[in-house]
Structure 1
Amino acid sequence: MPTPKFILELREKIGHDLLWLTGITGVVLNEQDEILLVRRADNGQWSLVAGILEPGEQPAAGLMREIQEETAVEAAIDRLVSIESLPPGSYPNGDQVQFLDLCFRCRPLRGEPRVNDDESLEVRWWPLNDLPPLTDREKVAIENALSPDPMPIYVQSAD
């Protein structure tokens, strides 16, 4: 999916300056101890399903939308896993961004995973004991989603 219209409109006003956005990440787990991952078209890396909330969109609804748009799987939210401010980053075009990420544990309801948009090269279920390379942040998100503790994880200080 191309850059959301609201971001393009903001970029017309602020150029490449730092833009604070709300990100959503889904750890989608099935009953076979598998996780739904996408291989991103922009960098070829395997990743959790993630996206950006539209203005006024509720986080759970936005994540269910992203999962369906990217994988053709309908999912339900089980719980909030974590709330985290990610470090600032930049895109190849020079746009500066920083995300407040809300990570949720999800379960599939129906649908077979497939590439469903132009953001992914592949979509599939991966056994939890045989995952492809993932970022450290994604590994922690999976670990937290698998925890029996239902309380969300959050950073309490800048230390």
Structure 2
Amino acid sequence: MTTPGFIRDLRADIGHRLLFLPGVSAVVFDEEGRVLLGRRADDGGWSIIGGIPEPGEQPADAAVREVHEETAVHCVAERVVLVETLPPTRYPNGDECQFVDITLRCRAVGGTARVNDEESLEVAWFARDALPPLRQFALTRIERAAEEGPAWFAPAAFAPAPGTVR
């Protein structure tokens, strides 16, 4: 994932300290029910498409933009699949980030899947029963996007006692 300019600007002021950031992930299905994946240039692994929203950008718009930027596929966001705060990550350069991932189910509406930027080595459609090796992060999101029902989120750790105001 290329570091957006606004984050590079923040890093100039705060150094490597922990940044809490929004992230979007897109599980894109085509008309045959196949899933769009990209093989990442940074680690060589296959994954769903994702990125960081620009300041003021809505998560659905960011997901649609990231899919097109990385794969040349046009899609529409259909629904929120999952919202999850991920564990902090320390990058090789020492930067520390923690993302709140908003995963959206998307439907392809045009374009031809291809490598469209420097973030991917390959881009391809995969049947759900013929996925390449994927991390649990991507597998969970694909499974939840294929299900019908409400968005998944971790239950609140604190619930006020009945009759109390928080």
Q: TM-score range by the shorter chain?
A: over 0.9
Aligned match of 1:24: 24
Counterparts of 1:158 and 1:14 in 2: how far apart (Å)?
30
The size of the alignment, in residue pairs, is: 158
Gap runs ≥5 in structure 2: 159-166
Gap runs ≥5 in structure 1: none
Report the TM-score when normalising by structure 2: 0.92
Aligned match of 1:155: 154
Counterparts of 1:25 and 1:158 in 2: how far apart (Å)?
24
What letter corresponds to residue 22 of structure 2 in structure 1?
Answer: T
Report the TM-score when normalising by structure 1: 0.96
Instruction: String of CA shifts for 1:2-45, please: whole Å, max 9, x gaps.
Output: 32110000000110000011000000011212100000000000
Counterparts of 1:105 and 1:2 in 2: how far apart (Å)?
23
Counterparts of 1:61 and 1:147 in 2: how far apart (Å)?
22
Counterparts of 1:91 and 1:28 in 2: how far apart (Å)?
27
Map 1:56-95 onto structure 2 (within 5 A). Answer: 56-95=56-95
Moved over 4 A (4+): none
Whether 2:125 is the aligned partner of 1:125: answer yes
Instruction: String of CA shifts for 1:69-89, please: whole Å, max 9, x gaps.
Output: 000000001100011000100
Whether 2:38 is the aligned partner of 1:38: answer yes
Counterparts of 2:83 and 2:155 in 1: how far apart (Å)?
11
Aligned match of 2:55: 55
RMSD (CA atoms):
1.2
